[in-house]
């Protein structure tokens, strides 16, 4: 059994944003030399997500608007978490809807993906450095 570990790092200049990290995950898989196994990709922070969906700009606008409707940022004093001095309670909720992590199959040395699957980092409380963990186990 082989294992491989890599971190990605982000500093999104706005509060919220989506970044396609599929090429970085593919590179990590090639570096690992693993041909059959699993890849875990997870946000290391609790106000961010890793998820799989479409790389389409209109959809990302829709996600942003929809998440704001389900868990609005303002007014910040609607959330007890923000009594601690934070203003990011909404980001902890948005991350639950979009998810912390994805698991990917590795088959014959490649990410075993359907036709439109792309991996995204979803930031809900940006403007500081945050990290994603890639861990690969297999043979």
Residues that bind its own copies (CB under 8 A): 1, 3, 5, 36-38, 40, 42-46, 51-54, 56-59, 61-63, 66, 70-71, 79-84, 89, 92-93, 95-103, 105, 107, 112-117, 131, 133, 135, 137-139
The distance of closest approach from Cβ of residue 92 to its own copies in the complex, given in angstroms and rounded to an integer, is 6
In this complex, which beta carbon is closest to its own copies, that of residue 15 or of residue 100?
100
Contact 27, 134 (CB under 8 A): no
Helix or strand (DSSP H, E) at 23: helix 22-32
In this complex, which beta carbon is closest to its own copies, that of residue 27 or of residue 61?
61
The distance of closest approach from Cβ of residue 2 to its own copies in the complex, given in angstroms and rounded to an integer, is 9
Alpha helical stretches, state H, 33-98: 57-70, 89-98
The distance of closest approach from Cβ of residue 134 to its own copies in the complex, given in angstroms and rounded to an integer, is 9
Reference 123, options 33, 63, 40; nearest CA is 63
**Beta pairing class for 48-53 and 2-10:** unpaired
The tokens 């959330």 sit on which residue? Answer: 79
The distance of closest approach from Cβ of residue 33 to its own copies in the complex, given in angstroms and rounded to an integer, is 14
């Amino acid at each position: 059994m082989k294992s491989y570990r890599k971190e990605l790092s982000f500093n999104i200049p706005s509060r919220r944003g989506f970044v396609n990290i599929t090429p970085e995950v593919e590179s990590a898989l090639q570096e690992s030399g693993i041909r059959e196994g699993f890849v875990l990709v997870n946000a290391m922070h609790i106000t961010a997500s890793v998820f799989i969906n479409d790389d389409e700009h209109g959809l990302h606008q829709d996600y942003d608007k929809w998440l704001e409707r389900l868990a609005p940022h303002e007014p910040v004093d609607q959330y007890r978490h923000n009594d601690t001095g934070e203003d990011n309670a909404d980001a902890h909720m948005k991350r639950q809807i979009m998810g912390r992590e994805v698991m990917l199959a590795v088959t014959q040395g490649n990410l075993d993906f359907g036709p439109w699957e792309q991996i995204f980092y979803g930031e809900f409380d940006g403007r500081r450095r945050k990290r994603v963990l890639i861990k690969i186990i297999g043979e």
